[in-house]
Amino acid sequence: MSPTMFLLGSRRLRVDAACRTEVLDLCLQNGFSYSDFRWQEDGSVTFLCPANTARHLLKLCKSRALEVETLDFLGVPSLFWRLRKRAGIWLGAALAIFLFVLSGRFVWDVRVTGNESMTSSEVIAELRECGFGVGSYIPALRTEELATHVTLASDRISWISIYLDGTVAKVQVIEHQTVTDPADTSSAKPANLVAACDGQIEYLELYRGNRVVTVGQAVKKGDLLVSGLYDSQVVGLRYTRAAGQVLARTAHAYRVEIPLDYEQKVYSDAEIRCVTLNFFDFSLKIFENTGNQASICDIIEIETDLESLGLRALPISLTSTRAYPYTLESAHYNEEEALELAYAELERLLVTLSESAELLSKTVRTTWTDTSVILECEVTCIEDIAIQVEFEIQE
């Protein structure tokens, strides 16, 4: 079948053996074209002809009492005729056309370039606070005014450009840069070095400032280690931002208690509470199952977009809300389980020590009671205890 016959429609006609010669002569005399001519076992013939030609041929054959049968209607018109009573298909097609035309007037995707310390999500969030994002109405956008608004409202963006490429907004940003020379302390606030915790000084390496402690000296938390002030008889009082490394022998105590009796969550079967279709900024619940309402449950929301299908720019996603109902039941740790949990918690606490700390010794004492297991740990280490504390200069 030719493309023209498919679009305009065609019919397959059957002519009995008794009148086939006359019918074919009519086609020849009137210039009616046909195709796919086939002989049948009973002597009849079938062929395809355009729908308009078939109507004229059937009219002529009827006037001459020639028997011609229509076997099938083919092509686009016949397809529409068969689907004429299926309202859902026509409604869906109309809605698809409407969304296709309408969607070209909204922003479908925002792509950010030029950002370094800021993530693309952070830039998009700042744009959203200024009224721009996925779903924004394109004809109402004033990109230059929007860019000015964003730079005035943001303390992290110094320049921004917004370019619309169809339904995709391409955003280029330049962030505020604070460049400081480590050797230049003229613009920095003065500061002292003070002790972050108790300890005994083991080593002191001074970069800037006036030291006030010596190796072997014991200090308390908050004591002054290196001063940012100089008092000179030649130039008078001057200040700087003290810097250096002060290593000290320190001691830390940790206590972990794990109760033997506890309450554990016993979950029932997980249920999908709700599935929501998100299109731009609009949301529509397409499935909801409340199930048995539980007094307590863990709720997890999972949002799935179409990026896995290669349709990243489409602002369509599904949000699935899962509820995990549970009840609290009494449970009991045996000694081995309780001790394992206690040591795991102790290791988590030890991680909070400074990364530069060098562990010298660790003593752990275990105490069992009727209701719990207790770990008491004492740690001795060498670490940098100096922290900078700024101070104000009275003019």
Number of structural domains found in the chain? 5
Residue 359 corresponds to which tokens in the numbers above? 């562990």
363: exposed, middle or buried (Cβ count in 10 Å: 0-12, 13-18, 19+): exposed
The phi and psi torsions of 321 (rounded to 5 degrees) equal -100, 115
Same domain (yes/no): 19, 73: yes
Write out the H or E segment, with its range, that includes residue 361.
strand 358-368
Same domain (yes/no): 337, 319: no
Furthest-apart CA atoms within the chain: distance in Å: 134
> Of 202, 218, 249, which one is at a domain's C-terminal end?
249
Same domain (yes/no): 124, 167: yes
Same domain (yes/no): 121, 166: yes
Q: Answer yes or no: is 283 within a domain.
A: yes
Q: Answer yes or no: is 104 within a domain.
A: no
The answer to whether 34 touches 49, Cβ cutoff 8 Å, is yes
Tens of pLDDT along the chain (395 residues)? 567 777 777 888 888 888 888 888 888 888 888 888 888 888 888 888 888 888 888 888 888 888 888 887 787 776 666 666 676 766 777 777 766 666 678 888 888 998 888 898 899 999 989 989 888 888 888 888 899 999 888 888 889 999 988 888 899 999 887 554 444 444 468 899 999 999 999 999 998 888 999 999 999 999 999 998 877 666 667 888 899 999 999 999 999 999 999 999 888 776 767 888 777 666 777 767 665 555 678 788 777 765 555 555 566 777 888 788 888 899 999 999 999 999 999 999 988 887 778 889 999 999 999 999 999 999 999 999 999 999 887 65
Euclidean distance between CA atoms 299 and 113, whole angstroms: 35
Euclidean distance between CA atoms 71 and 15, whole angstroms: 10
Per-residue pLDDT tens digits for 333-372: 999 999 999 999 999 998 888 777 888 999 999 999 999 9
Q: Answer yes or no: is 182 within a domain.
A: no
Domain hosting residue 323, numbered range: 270-305+314-329
Per-residue pLDDT tens digits for 261-273: 999 988 877 676 7
Q: Answer yes or no: is 100 within a domain.
A: no
Q: Answer yes or no: is 212 within a domain.
A: yes
Same domain (yes/no): 323, 337: no
Can you give the pTM of this predicted structure? 0.48
Same domain (yes/no): 123, 156: yes
Same domain (yes/no): 59, 39: yes
How long is the chain?
395
Residue 223 corresponds to which tokens in the numbers above? 């004591």
